[in-house]
Structure 1
Amino acid sequence: MALRELIPWNNGSRNLPARRTEVDNPFLSLHREMNRLFDDVFRGVDIGQFAPPATMGWPSVEFNETDKEVKVIAELPGIEQKDVEVELADGVLTISGEKKSETKDKERRFSERYYGRFERRIPVDDVDQDKVAASFKDGILTVTLPKSPTEQRKVKRIAINGK
């Protein structure tokens, strides 16, 4: 008895089952071709670079809150202080500005850097608008929003008892 005869799907014959070709099923052929095209187009492409800056949350911000104030710290690398505006209206802090290109190089073919206008709106409640202050140093914008006296009284610390 030959080893070939022990293999159940061979049945001792040398004939292999024919593979059905893609030509037999046009929908399967179309499906595979579309998958191949999408794979080729999106291979190695970061979709995030095509999203507008507002959806990416640029500039990046950090919030720090105490009983007396809220601090908003925004990273604005490569932007000068004169190109940044900070406004507070109707309980919304708006940080806006423009990052300009350092060079007017028309021969540039590729750039991953972002240039252009940006705006970030942050809702804030019960702050003393007359005492809001902002500072800018080394590309870091810090906005200090003191809480109103009524908001400060709303905060009550609750002690936690251990067992």
Structure 2
Amino acid sequence: MMLFDTFKELDRISSTFFSGFPVPALSAAPVNLYRDDDRYVMEVDLPGFEPSLVDVTAEPGLLTIRADRDTSREDRNERWLIRERDSARVVRQIALGDDVDVDAIAADYQNGVLRVTLPVRADALPRKVAVAVGSPSSAPQAIESGEAAQRDAHPKAEPAHSVAS
């Protein structure tokens, strides 16, 4: 069953009407984003884009990816039989959390896939908390003293399980 996407269809029609050629949507680059221990990894499909025309910028709270593909060339009296590859511009923006180390972001492009590594700041990583081994009576004393303080704060309160006559 195929669903009709009104907004996508309106975008396609308006692009065709105003430019004469369909223009890929700005989100035409599919993205996968996942966390891998102490970093986030984002993979963006950008097939057919020259690596030198892919731009990644990072600022606190925002990562922006821009890519341009220019397929226009001078008309040399060619007789096109099929011409489906148009020039394209892709812009993707991803909100970054406060835990990303913006200064350590790295990116590489291979086989049409842009891979952006977003390290988590060291102070935002989970810390291992050491568990001290102490006397077993220290925990119950803390609970008992807490219950005693509660009883002293409300001396007229009776426990729910007691029977008063």
TM-score (norm 2): 0.56
Answer yes or no: is the 8 Å Cα contact 1:94–1:122 preserved in 2. Answer: yes
**Residues matched between the structures, number:** 109
1:86 aligns with 2:28: no
Displacement after TM superposition at 1:103 (Å): 4.5
Matched-pair contact (CA < 8 Å) for 1:69–1:145: yes
The aligned residue for residue 141 of structure 1 is 114
Structure 2 alignment gaps of length 5 or more? 1-7, 16-23, 129-165
1:117 to 67, 89, 93: 89
Q: Distance in 2 between matches of 1:110 and 1:90?
A: 44
**Partners in 2 of 1:78 and 1:110 — Cα distance?**
17
TM-fit CA distance, 1:113:
3.4
Could you tell me which of 70, 73, 91 is aligned with 2:40? 70
Cα gap change, 1:119/1:154 in structure 2, threshold over 3 Å: closer, same or farther? farther
Structure 1 contact 67–152 (Cα < 8 Å) conserved: no
Task: Report the Cα offset of residue 99 of structure 1.
Answer: 1.1
What displacement does 1:77 show?
0.5
Once the two structures are TM-superposed, the CA of residue 131 in structure 1 deviates from its matched residue by 1.5
Distance 1:112 1:49, change over 3 A: farther
- Counterparts of 1:90 and 1:114, CA distance in 2: 34
- C-alpha spacing 1:76/1:132, structure 2 compared with 1 (3 Å): same
Asked if the contact 1:70/1:145 (under 8 Å) is kept, the reply is yes
Could you say what the CA RMSD is over the residues aligned between the two structures, in angstroms?
Answer: 3.0
Report what 1:95 is aligned to: 65
How far 1:137 moved relative to its partner?
0.8
Aligned to 2:9: 47
SS at match of 2:65: strand
**Residue type of the partner of 1:142?**
R
Task: Structure 1: state its 5+ residue gaps.
Answer: 1-45, 156-163
CA contact (8 A) 1:73 1:142 kept: yes
